[in-house]
Structure 1
Amino acid sequence: MVQVKIDKNDIFKGLDRPVYILEEDLLRRNLQLIKSVAQRADIEIILAFKAFALWKTFPVFREYINATTASSYSEARLAFEEFGSPAHTYSPAYTDYEIDDIARCSSHITFNSLSQYHRMKERAKMVNPSVSFGIRINPEYSEIETDLYNPCAKGSRFGILASCLPEKLPTDIEGFHCHCHCESGADAFKRTLVHIEKKFSKWFSKIKWINFGGGHLITRKDYDVQLLIDTLNGFHERYPGLKLIMEPGSAFAWQTGVLVAQVVDVVENQGVKTAIINVSFTCHMPDCLEMPYQPAIRGAQSLPDNAVWDKENNSSPYIYRIGGNSCLSGDYMGSWQFDHELKVGESLIFEDMIHYTTVKTNMFNGVSHPSLAILHTNGDLEILRKFGYEDYKNRMD
């Protein structure tokens, strides 16, 4: 690890290689808010690794939260070994060759189906007699508009419908887990809760906990925190015996850092200028292509995607498409307007690139990952990890 003292007002000066930079001040701001919500609503809020798993920051997290949620053996082991507490684990399908290790690393195991529960429960209990079993429920309601991220879409493989649950639950099922949100507000949660209660409340007296999953973007600037707290406290009043859990991922790392990349070339074809950078959308910002959404670039104005072609209405000479450095034809996005001509070597700063992006990167084409760094509160920029040839080679080992 390398540490350099830098001016926090000019943290990107002199960078010549791509790097994700997490700002500790901004992370602590989010953590403080999340801890406050947990206390005021009397719930447990835990970190979902699927959105953020930078384990060298776990000492900071442990000052605010006590547990995490996992979706695989590797995530459960990371929780157990590096976070220092067993995971709340859910997977769409557990395997015979991993269930023992998952049980060893988990405090809670949620099953996606009753068939998985019946197949795996005895082995899991044998390994960890104290593990708490839950099942995932599907309320058949979600306000997520993009099907790619909607776990309650028609025909979804996630969770058990109320019509498929037995009137009497197995005695060792202690909890329900549901996930219906994606970067959603408290108003969406309040409306969704009506459907959850309508379909599943008759079983609430038979369980000990309910996990309302992730997608609650508590730290977004316009999020109605008080509405969330009031909604949860109202639920407590109706069902005082239930422990409540939430497991957001994005909310923890929301707007806590950036991806800094450099322009390596500018090419022009049929009047379209493309600034090619030393990172890749498909490798390092896959959500931009999957969702899709156009990220913010500091100092640039985001324009409609086809603005690079619209010469009649866009007279500025500084409109660029941004292209990645892989050979995938679709590894580009556009359009952005700058106030100057882009030059080879200058940095572009992609805003809010810590949650999900850092856990979804890949090495397609052998394109190396950006480094991982944290900007500490004292102004030290610490490089946590650099990537190179050996990282690519070892993926095929």
Structure 2
Amino acid sequence: MRKEQLKTPCFVVREEGLRRNLEILKEVRMETGCRILLAQKAFSMYRVYPLIGQYLDGTTASGLYEAKLGYEEMGKENHIFSPAYKKEEMPEILRLCGHIVFNSPAQVKKYKEQVKQAGRSMGLRVNPECSTQEGHAIYDPCAPFSRLGTTLEKFEEEMSEEDISALDGLHFHTLCEQDSDDLAKTLRAVEEKFGKYLHRMKWVNFGGGHHITRPGYDIGLLKRCIRHMKETYGVEVYLEPGEAVALNAGELITEVMEIVENGMKIAILDASAACHMPDVLEMPYRPPLKDAGDPAEENAGGNGFAGSSPSGSSSVGSGAADSGTAGHERPYEYRLAGPTCLAGDVIGDYSFAQPLKCGDRLEFQDMAIYTMVKTNTFNGMRLPDIVLEREDGTCEIVKTFGYEDFKARL
């Protein structure tokens, strides 16, 4: 089956895109000796875990179910972090995971004997109180009053010498879609506050949020950061990227079902921001769309480029991705919206070279990450099919969804 034969809506993950990202991550591993884990919270399409496992060291989980998935489907190193753990789940977590990271001194005290008896490695997440994000407090673990990680003050107040001695590593996660200069700044804060304890550890985990596979990312600085920590403290270094594994490696294909007009033309799609790409509303952000422009940028005099697809498959705009067509060549403006009852189920405003019509297929770009893992069935919306596009262009339908999937959750 080819992409143009797929029914909509569907997520299409490109094997070629994944492999490209994985080659970059493998090179970082080989050059520095660090260990890299897939953060499943961003991307849990286990159909491709065998491929990912050829390049990475394992998986990391945010809870029991992700831990089970990584254990069953990749079967390599398996780490877990959660702000708190249920007592009844801990025996199974200890069976599944080799590294258990706690969020607070209280959790360390509660579970340290179980962890040690199970022969597992134990860590504590720290908060270096070094915010490198602006305007996205919802994604900033170092924002004021953050519940994530232990500050130095609480560490020294609540961790006894016995507790510290029980730790094998320290974990921090402060970044979100950021470059290595922010990592370097964070590391300086980590060393300043926790350096005297790092000398006693076996490993340090840099967490996620590293946009390593994004064009322009400073990989050289990342490597220097890793080597510095290994050489200064004699520790194993872990990274837990999620987005970087599947960045720009997938699309959400949708169809125009209806076009209405109320002060502007509004195209109603069979894909929903609220149900199928909730980060569009949560962040919020405007996803790139193949062969479309941004009316706001065009009206301001920019090129209005709204994204492209390296796949080269057909969609509105007839063919290859637009790489900067002048705004006057995309004079048709539409608001793209979902079919749910939510008035705010709006994806964004886009401009096109040709008028849209019912039945047109659109391709939203960079839709492999934080999409499939966050979809929902509000209004009884059907979940998009999950498809793997192989490097030869053929497509494998990995998963389809129907009424029973909606009903089974209620």
Q: TM-score, normalised by structure 1?
A: 0.92
Shift of 1:209: 0.6
Q: How far apart are the structure 2 equivalents of 1:347 and 1:316?
A: 17
**Residue 233 of structure 1 aligns with which residue?**
227
SS in 1 for 2:238: strand
1:186 equivalent among 161, 169, 180:
180
Deviation readout 1:253-286 (Å, 9 max, x if unpaired): 00001000000000111x2111000011011111
**Residue 47 of structure 1 aligns with which residue?**
38
Q: How far apart are the structure 1 equivalents of 2:194 and 2:369?
A: 32
Structure 2 residue 151 is matched with structure 1 residue 161? yes
Contact 1:306–1:334 (CA under 8 A) maintained in structure 2: no
Shift of 1:103: 1.2
**Residue 79 of structure 1 aligns with which residue?**
70
Q: How far apart are the structure 1 equivalents of 2:179 and 2:330?
A: 37
Q: How far apart are the structure 2 equivalents of 1:315 and 1:297?
A: 16
Q: How far apart are the structure 1 equivalents of 2:331 and 2:178?
A: 38
Contact 1:280–1:325 (CA under 8 A) maintained in structure 2: yes
2:406 equivalent among 368, 387, 392:
392
Paired residue type of 1:221 = P
Shift of 1:235: 2.4
Q: How far apart are the structure 2 equivalents of 1:282 and 1:124?
A: 40
**Displacement over 4 Å in runs of 4+:** 313-317
2:271 equivalent among 279, 289, 294:
279
Shift of 1:191: 1.2
Structure 2 residue 280 is matched with structure 1 residue 291? no
Shift of 1:326: 1.1
**What percent identity do the matched residue pairs reach?**
41
Q: How far apart are the structure 2 equivalents of 1:236 and 1:303?
A: 48
Contact 2:208–2:239 (CA under 8 A) maintained in structure 1: yes
Contact 1:99–1:124 (CA under 8 A) maintained in structure 2: no
Higher alpha-carbon deviation: 374-383 or 117-126: 117-126
2:244 equivalent among 224, 227, 251:
251
**Residue 325 of structure 1 aligns with which residue?**
339
Contact 1:305–1:335 (CA under 8 A) maintained in structure 2: no
Q: How far apart are the structure 1 equivalents of 2:394 and 2:72?
A: 27
**Residue 27 of structure 2 aligns with which residue?**
36
Higher alpha-carbon deviation: 181-190 or 164-173: 164-173
Contact 2:115–2:121 (CA under 8 A) maintained in structure 1: no
Structure 2 residue 231 is matched with structure 1 residue 217? no
**Residue 138 of structure 1 aligns with which residue?**
127
Which runs of structure 2 are paired with 1:193-208 in the superposition (5 Å)?
Answer: 193-208=187-202
SS in 2 for 1:275: strand
Structure 2 residue 96 is matched with structure 1 residue 108? no
Relative to structure 1, the CA distance from residue 362 to residue 306 in structure 2 (aligned partners, 3 Å threshold; closer, same or farther) is: farther
Deviation readout 1:195-246 (Å, 9 max, x if unpaired): 110000010111111101000000000101111112221222222x211000
Contact 2:287–2:347 (CA under 8 A) maintained in structure 1: no
Higher alpha-carbon deviation: 137-146 or 164-173: 164-173
Coordinate RMSD, CA, aligned: 1.8
**Residue 22 of structure 1 aligns with which residue?**
13
Q: How far apart are the structure 1 equivalents of 2:329 and 2:244?
A: 39
Number of positions where the alignment pairs a residue of Structure 1 with one of Structure 2: 378
Structure 1: tracts of 5 or more residues without a match: 308-312
Structure 2: tracts of 5 or more residues without a match: 300-326
1:363 equivalent among 337, 361, 377:
377
Deviation readout 1:159-203 (Å, 9 max, x if unpaired): 111122237343221110100100000111111111110000010
